[in-house]
């Protein structure tokens, strides 16, 4: 039976536990305060959700970017704050939707068309790093004949723009029939792709290998080989790719 991979209903005591843990230590936004409140005060563009859970019974994986809420902040188009308020957030990559825990403890979605960027604050090994995502038309970036916006992580933004696209592929169970694969569970599978632009508007899918970068940037072909060798760069590491692109831009 086909499952609908959307937010599910959970018992209220489980929801309370999830939200109470998520909100611990969170800087909340009081009513009538700041840019965020303008978009989450029960407006027409905001969907309020009474129950929420990252877990899906009978389904492996999650449609969300992270397995739990992450701290972060949002900048909106045409309206900036000197200091953005932090929220607990996550992105549903299957539905291309940003979820936030609101100041009153409920969960809501923010309208992508009003968002300038989404910034997650990730703490690893005692250090905090920011990961910036921007909403762009999926047709423009991925060349898909589908409407709507997707969220793309900025790996590098300068003369060149490199985006990382996190995707969730939903695979249904297949255990019936003579030619089934005997997979007895539904599963969200992770997929990552990179998209490269030289002008900020036209994108091409790019596998992060030296020969592909040389083809995308033929005038830098020799510099790419030289820089990778001299700096001992690993192109499977986003920070090393960023270092490479900055070095090439400085040579332009």
Q: Residues 129, 246: one domain?
A: no
Residue 227 structural domain: 208-252
Q: Please check the confidence at residue 157 and state whether its pLDDT lies above 80.
A: yes
Q: Residues 185, 196: one domain?
A: yes
pTM of the entire structure?
0.76
Distance CA 241, CA 224 (A): 10
Distance CA 54, CA 70 (A): 13
Q: In the structure, what pLDDT confidence band is assigned to residue 45 with cuts at 50, 70 and 90?
A: low
> Pairing mode, if any, of strands 161-171 and 47-49?
unpaired
Q: Answer with the residue of higher pLDDT: 252 or 146.
A: 146
Q: Residues 42, 86: one domain?
A: yes
Q: Residues 23, 94: one domain?
A: yes
**Residue 14: what pLDDT?**
35
**Residue 170: what pLDDT?**
83
Kindly state the tokens that stand for 246: 């900055």
Kindly state the tokens that stand for 76: 């909106």
Q: Residues 31, 152: one domain?
A: yes
Orientation angle between helical segments 238-251 and 221-231, nearest 10 degrees = 130
Q: Which of 11, 17, 16, 4 is nearest to 59 (CA)?
A: 4
Mean pLDDT (whole number) for 106-135: 91
Q: Residues 151, 213: one domain?
A: no
Contact 140, 165 (CB under 8 A): no
Q: Please check the confidence at residue 166 and state whether its pLDDT lies above 70.
A: yes
Q: Residues 133, 156: one domain?
A: yes
**Residue 34: what pLDDT?**
38
Q: Please check the confidence at residue 38 and state whether its pLDDT lies above 90.
A: no
Does residue 6 fall inside a structural domain?
no
Dihedral sign (CA 88, 60, 2, 14): negative
Q: Residues 85, 103: one domain?
A: yes
Q: Please check the confidence at residue 250 and state whether its pLDDT lies above 90.
A: yes
Mean pLDDT of the chain: 79
Q: Residues 52, 42: one domain?
A: yes
Q: Residues 136, 43: one domain?
A: yes
Q: Residues 53, 70: one domain?
A: yes
Mean pLDDT (whole number) for 222-232: 96
């Amino acid at each position: 039976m086909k499952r609908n991979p959307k937010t599910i209903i959970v018992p209220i005591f489980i929801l309370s536990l999830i939200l109470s843990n998520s909100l611990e230590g969170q800087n909340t936004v009081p009513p009538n305060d700041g840019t965020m409140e303008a978009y989450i005060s029960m407006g027409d563009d905001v969907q309020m959700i009474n129950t929420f859970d990252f877990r899906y019974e009978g389904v492996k994986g999650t449609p969300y970017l992270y397995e739990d809420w992450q701290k972060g902040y949002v900048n909106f188009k045409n309206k900036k704050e000197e200091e953005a308020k932090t929220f607990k957030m996550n992105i549903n990559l299957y539905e291309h939707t940003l979820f936030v825990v609101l100041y009153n403890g409920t969960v809501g979605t923010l309208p992508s068309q009003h968002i300038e960027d989404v910034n997650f604050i990730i703490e690893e090994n005692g250090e905090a790093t920011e990961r910036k995502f921007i909403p762009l038309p999926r047709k423009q970036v991925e060349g898909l004949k589908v409407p709507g916006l997707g969220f793309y992580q900025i790996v590098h933004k300068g003369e060149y723009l490199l985006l990382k696209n996190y995707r969730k592929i939903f695979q249904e169970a297949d255990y019936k029939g003579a030619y089934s694969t005997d997979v007895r569970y539904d599963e969200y599978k992770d997929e990552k792709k990179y998209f490269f632009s030289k002008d900020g508007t036209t994108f091409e899918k790019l596998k992060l290998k030296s020969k592909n970068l040389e083809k995308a940037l033929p005038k830098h072909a020799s510099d790419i080989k030289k820089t990778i060798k001299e700096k001992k760069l690993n192109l499977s590491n986003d920070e090393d790719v960023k270092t490479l692109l900055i070095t090439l831009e400085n040579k332009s």
